[in-house]
């Protein structure tokens, strides 16, 4: 009787541990070509059971190959074409999920996650689960336009950008256009980002972009148009400040007398006229008053100078 009870307890404990160590996964996963995907394989760690071996294998065209193996010696990628493309979490007990990057079409197939645990009495428990992977190519989606940090209303002279964003299988090609009067468009760039180092008022206008990839029979997706507004004038485009004529004290280099008006050649004159003829009304034999015609009546006395007749 005692042996029967002991056997029943052992069986119940074995069943309970097996239930706790069940693997959780999904039946099918779709991944985009050249993208990444994760194949879930998880369990709840159970006290007294230690993971000994984890393997991931792939079955395609009735042929099975081991991709990944983790044991006491470490991690091993056994299929050359998956090197540097697959990984399993190292510091997450109970997580044996496989991550695949840079998916290729031949990666489609049936993937099996197998885990072997060892109990305290050295018995082994093995569980496995299979997930089907389909790698697909996705056409480019309708792109959206993202404005730079300053938005779509930008002061003149500022640096800004517009970015065209589409999703789908790479590579995705982009083109930028600007609407011009008459209903036509002006091609601008074949990059995803359209940038201005110093925005000018003439850059204001309507912009849109297009995106396409090699999927979908060359269907081109076009974004909604956006309006770029430029506020004010850039420093380079603003009008030059008016030159100001500064009154100066001229120094006479030559004086010519003609009836009642004397003309002099000044060595120092207005900044606007470095060498100018300044007219002044003759006030006497040894003195005069110079008047720059550009100074609206402003005048300066000049030192006494003996005039010579022209």
Do 117 and 9 fall into the same domain? yes
In a domain, 246, yes or no: no
Label the pairing between strands 124-136 and 28-32.
parallel
Task: Supply the CATH number for residue 186's domain.
Answer: 2.60.40.10
Q: Are 215 and 287 members of one domain?
A: no
- Among 80, 105, 136, residue at a domain's last position: 136
Q: Which pLDDT score, from 0 to 100, does residue 294 have?
A: 35
For residues 111 and 210, what is the distance between their CA atoms, to the nearest angstrom? 38
Q: So what's the pLDDT on residue 237?
A: 46
Burial status of residue 184 (CB atoms within 10 A of its CB: 0-12, 13-18, 19 or more)? exposed
Tell whether 49 and 102 lie within a shared domain: yes
Q: Are residues 64 and 121 in the same domain?
A: yes
**Domain for residue 238, yes or no?**
no
Average pLDDT for 192-209: 95
Nearest to 177 by CA among 205, 209, 199: 209
| Res. 166: pLDDT tops 90 | yes
The answer to whether residues 118 and 203 belong to one domain is no
Residue 104 lies in a domain: yes
Which of 258, 269, 168 has its CA nearest to residue 220? Answer: 168
Distance CA 126, CA 285 (A): 125
Domain count across the chain: 3
Q: Please report whether residue 241 resides in a domain.
A: no
Do 261 and 288 fall into the same domain? yes
Predicted local distance difference test score (pLDDT) of residue 71: 96
| Strand 205-212 relative to strand 221-222, pairing | antiparallel
- Do 102 and 76 reside in the same domain of the chain? yes
pLDDT computed for residue 19 by the predictor = 53
Nearest in space to 143 (alpha carbons), one of 170, 164, 169:
164
The residue from 197, 231, 265 where one domain ends is 231
pLDDT over 50 (residue 261) = no
d(C-alpha 146, C-alpha 153), whole Å: 13
User: Are 52 and 168 contained in the same domain?
Assistant: no
Highest-scoring range by mean pLDDT, 86-95, 279-288, 291-300: 86-95
For residue 245, being part of any structural domain is answered with: no
Contacts for 277 with CB less than 8 Å, ≥ 6 apart: 263, 264, 265, 266
Residue 150 has pLDDT above 80, yes or no: yes
Residues 53 and 130 in one domain: yes
Higher pLDDT, residue 307 or 139: 139
Q: Which residue has the higher pLDDT, 306 or 87?
A: 87
206 and 270 together in one domain = no
Which of 112, 136, 160 marks a domain boundary?
136
Assess whether pLDDT exceeds 60 at residue 94: yes
In a domain, 300, yes or no: yes
Does residue 111 carry a pLDDT above 50?
yes
Structure confidence by residue, pLDDT tens digits, 7-57: 443 444 444 445 568 999 999 999 989 889 999 999 999 989 999 999 999
The parent domain of residue 178 ranges over 144-231
What is the pLDDT, as a whole number, of residue 143? Answer: 97
């Amino acid at each position: 009787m005692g042996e029967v009870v002991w056997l029943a307890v052992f069986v119940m404990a074995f069943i309970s541990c097996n239930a706790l160590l069940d693997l959780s996964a999904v039946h099918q996963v779709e991944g985009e070509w050249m993208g990444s995907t994760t194949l879930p394989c998880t369990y709840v760690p159970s006290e007294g059971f230690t993971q000994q071996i984890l393997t991931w294998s792939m079955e395609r065209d009735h042929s099975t190959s081991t991709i990944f193996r983790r044991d006491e010696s470490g991690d091993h990628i056994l299929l050359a074409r998956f090197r540097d493309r697959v990984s399993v979490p190292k510091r997450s007990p109970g997580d044996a999920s496989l991550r695949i990057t840079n998916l290729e079409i031949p990666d489609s197939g049936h993937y099996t996650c197998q885990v072997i645990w060892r109990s305290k009495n050295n018995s082994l428990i093995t569980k496995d689960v299979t997930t089907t992977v389909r790698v697909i190519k996705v056409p480019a989606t309708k792109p959206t336009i993202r404005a730079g940090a300053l938005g779509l209303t930008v002061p003149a002279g500022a640096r800004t950008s517009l970015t065209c964003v589409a999703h789908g299988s790479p590579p995705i090609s982009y083109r930028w256009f600007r609407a011009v009067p008459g209903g036509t468009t002006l091609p601008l760039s074949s990059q995803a980002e359209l940038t201005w180092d110093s925005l000018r008022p003439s850059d204001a206008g309507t912009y849109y972009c297009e995106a396409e990839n090699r999927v979908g029979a060359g269907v081109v997706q076009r974004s909604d148009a956006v309006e770029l507004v430029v506020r004010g004038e850039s420093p380079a485009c603003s009008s030059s400040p008016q030159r100001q004529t500064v009154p100066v004290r001229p120094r006479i280099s030559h004086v010519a007398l003609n009836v009642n008006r004397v003309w002099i050649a000044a060595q120092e004159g207005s900044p606007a006229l470095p060498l100018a003829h300044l007219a002044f009304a003759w006030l006497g034999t040894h003195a005069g008053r110079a008047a720059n015609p550009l100074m609206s009546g402003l005048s300066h006395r000049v030192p006494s100078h003996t005039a010579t007749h022209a």
